[in-house]
A and B are shown apart, each in its own frame.
Chain A
Amino acid sequence: MNAKHSEAAARFIQNRALEEWHNETLFLVRKKRDSQAITLPEWEQLRQLASQIKMHTITHLDKYLEQFALRAEANGAIVHWAKDAREHNEIIHALLRERQVGKLVKSKSMLTEECHLNPYLISKGIEVVESDLGERILQLMNKPPSHIVMPAIHIKRQEVGKLFEEKLHTEKGNSHPDYLAHAARLHLRNEFLTAAAALTGANFGVAATGDVVVCTNEGNADMGTSFPKLHIVSMGIEKVTPDYQALSVFIRLLARSATGQPATAYTSHYRKPRKGCEMHIILVDNGRSDIIGNPDHIQALKCIRCAACMNTCPVYRRSGGYSYTYFIPGPIGINLGMLKSPGEYAGNVSACSLCYSCNNVCPAQIDLADQIYKWRQQLDSLGKADRTKKLISGGLKYIFTRPGLYNTALRLAPIINKSPRFLIYNNLDAWGKGRELPAFAKESFTQMWKKGKIKQHP
C-alpha cells in the first residue's frame, strides 16, 4: 500500500466540523504545553540535556542494555530478547500458554501495536482487553489509534455513547463523557479483577536500578498489574536510560510536552515482581539497532513518544492520524515509517509543510523536519517521486533561476485573486482542497521598492 497522504486527508476533511474541531483541540493541547514550558526557566536547557542524554545512550546502547538486563534479573525479573515482532509475539504467547492464561489485560503500548500483538494472540484463542479508555473504545470499534497519546481523538462522544449502549448496556442516548467514563470504569474494573496476566509498555527502563517506569493518567497500568500473577513488559531497546538523574530530565519533559500537565497522575516504578508473582521484560529490537548506523536518521531513536510534534503539526491537525499509512502518524511517524519501509510508506513524506514547528517543540530536540526534507531528496532514487509535484517544483525551479521571468510572474500574481476557483484549486494542487491561498499583494516588494514606497528607518 502506498496511498498518497493527500488522498486520505481529503477523506478526513470531508467532515468539515470534525476537521475544525480536531485542528482546534490539538492546537489547544499544544498551547497547554507552552504554558507549562514557560513555568520553567530551565526548559530549553532540559530539552538540550534530554537530547544529549539520548545521543549518549543510543551510542552506548549495548552497555546500557546489558546493565539494565543484569539489574532487572538481580531484582527477580526475567529478561527476554526479541529481534523482531514475530519473536516478541511468540515469547508472549509462550508465556501465556505455559501458564494457561485465558485473558490478558493490557495498558497502552505503541510497541505491541507495532508488533501486531493483539490479532496474533486473539488468533491463538487468548482474550485481549485494552484498558486505556481510548484504546478500549477503539478496540470495541475494531479501529486502530489515530494519535499516540490520545488514541481516540477522532471519535465523537455520540459514537462512544452508541458503542457503549451496544457493548456495555449503558442508557440509550446518554453520551455525557462523565457517564461513559464511569461505565468504562465499572466494566474494566471487572476485567482487572479477572484477568490472569497483565501487559504494560515501558516509558523508560533505568539501567542503574533495573526499574521499568510507566506513566499513565488513568492508573490502568497500575490496576492491571495489581491482581494477576504475571506481569509482562514490552519494551523497545531505545527506552533504556542510564540512571535516575537522566530519568528526572525526561519525566519533567514528558507530561508537559504531551498534554500540558506538570506530571502524569501516576509515574510507576516496577522494580521487582509482586510477592509470589512473575515479571517478564521483553527487550525488542525490531529494526532499532539498524537505525543507529544511519547518521541522517539516528536521532529518531531519541523519541520519548510524547506526541507534541503531532499536536503542533498543521498537516496532522487538519488531516488526522488515519491519513498516514504508518501506524504512528505526524512528523515522527513519517520518519519511523520511512525507516521501516520506504517502499511502503513514502506516501507520507508529502504530509509536511516544512514549517519546522515540530523541531521546535520536540522535548528531545529531534531534527524531524530536516529528516523529512532528506527523505524527499531521496524519493527520486527510491522511484517514489510524485509526478505532479515534480512537474510543479520543476516549473518553479525554472522560474526561480530566471530573475526576469520571476518578476513577470510576480507582477501577474494578483490576477490569481480574480481567477475562478477551479483554476486555483485544480487537481494539480493536492492540498488546495484543504487550504485557502493567501491573497497576493497588489504590488510586489520589488515594485514598491522601486517606486520609493518602502521607507528605510533612519
Chain B
Amino acid sequence: MSTKNDILSNIRRHTGQTYDMPVIEPAAIQYPDAVARFAEVIKSVGGSAIELQEGEDINERIISLYPEAATIASNLPGIRIATINPDEVETPHQLNGTALAVVQGEVGVAENGCVWIPQNVKEKAVYFIAEYLIILLDKNKIVSNMHEAYRKIRFNDNGFGVFISGPSKTADIEQALVVGAHGAKGVVVLLTT
C-alpha cells in the first residue's frame, strides 16, 4: 500500500503542465466494399476468407477444406463433425493434438484482417493450440476500421477476448517468414450470412 502511495505522490509531485484529451474522431478509412477488402487483407497476412454459398452445408465445406483433420474441436451447435467439445475437457492440456478447431468470431475488421473472438468456450487454449483454425463470421459484421471495431466488441463472463489476424507467424530467424510459430498454421474465415 505504501509503495502505491509513494508512486502516486511522486507522479503528482512531478506533474507540471497538463494536456487535454483530444477528441478521437480521425477521418478513418472507409472501404466501399469492406468484405472484399477484408478478404484481400487476410490473404496478405497468410490466411483466407471464403464465403459460404447459399444452401451449402458448412460441415461438408469444412471437410473439403481439411479432409485429413482427425480431431476437430468445436462447441458450436451446427458443427456435427466435431470430435471434441472444448467445453467438456477437464484440463486445457487435453486439447493438445487437436488438428482443427472451429470457432465463432463476432466482428471482422477490413483494414487489418482481424476477427474479434470473445472467449465462448471453457478453455481459451482451443484458439491457439489447434494446428488449423476455422473462424465463422457473419459477413454483415465486418467493419472498415479498428475504431468501429472497438465500439462493437463485447466480452462474456470468461473475461478474455482476442483479435486474430491470420495464422501465427515468426520471422525471428534472419527475418525469414515462417507460418505456424506456436498457434495455428493456417486460418480460414468462413463468411456466413
Residues of A within 8 A of B (CB): 25, 28-29, 39-42, 45-46, 49, 52-53, 55-56, 59-62, 65-66, 69, 75-76, 81-83, 87, 131-134, 137, 150-153, 155-157, 160, 177-178, 180-182, 184-185, 188-189, 192-193, 217-220, 222-223, 226-227, 237, 242, 244-249, 251-252, 255, 259, 261-275, 283, 285, 289-293, 295
Contact = CB atoms under 8 A, between A and B. Distances in A.
B182 interface: yes
Most chain A beta carbons < 10 A, residue from B4, B29, B91, B92:
B4
Q: Which 8 A-B pairs have the closest CB atoms?
A: A272-B159, A219-B183, A293-B14, A134-B172, A218-B181, A262-B112, A263-B112, A226-B125
A65 B176 CA distance: 39
A219 B181 contact: yes
A119 B126 CA distance: 33
Contacts of B54: none
A23 to B, nearest CB: 13
A152 B172 contact: yes
Given A262-B45, A263-B113, A237 B173 contact: no
Contacts, number: 255
A193 B96 contact: yes
Given A46-B26, A49-B26, A61 B15 contact: yes
22 contacts: A40-B111, A46-B26, A81-B7, A134-B170, A157-B173, A180-B173, A185-B181, A217-B170, A223-B183, A227-B125, A237-B11, A245-B24, A248-B147, A255-B112, A263-B114, A263-B165, A270-B160, A271-B159, A272-B158, A274-B124, A293-B13, A295-B17
Interface in B107-156: 109, 111-114, 122-125, 127-129, 145-147, 149-151, 153, 155
Interface in B1-47: 3-4, 6-8, 10-22, 24, 26-29, 41, 44-45
Contacts of B151: 244-245
Contacts of A181: 170, 172-173, 178, 180-181
B80 interface: no
A191 to B, nearest CB: 10
A242 B21 contact: yes
Interface in B81-101: 91-93, 96
B29 A41 contact: yes
B41 A262 contact: yes
Interface residues of B, number: 75
Most chain B beta carbons < 10 A, residue from A25, A273, A285:
A285
A83 B19 contact: no
Contact of B113 (A59, A244, A262, A269): A262
A178 B181 CA distance: 10
B150 A193 contact: no
B50 interface: no
Given A217-B168, A219-B168, A262-B111, A289 B147 contact: no
Interface of B: 3-4, 6-8, 10-22, 24, 26-29, 41, 44-45, 91-93, 96, 109, 111-114, 122-125, 127-129, 145-147, 149-151, 153, 155, 158-176, 178, 180-184
B27 A265 contact: no
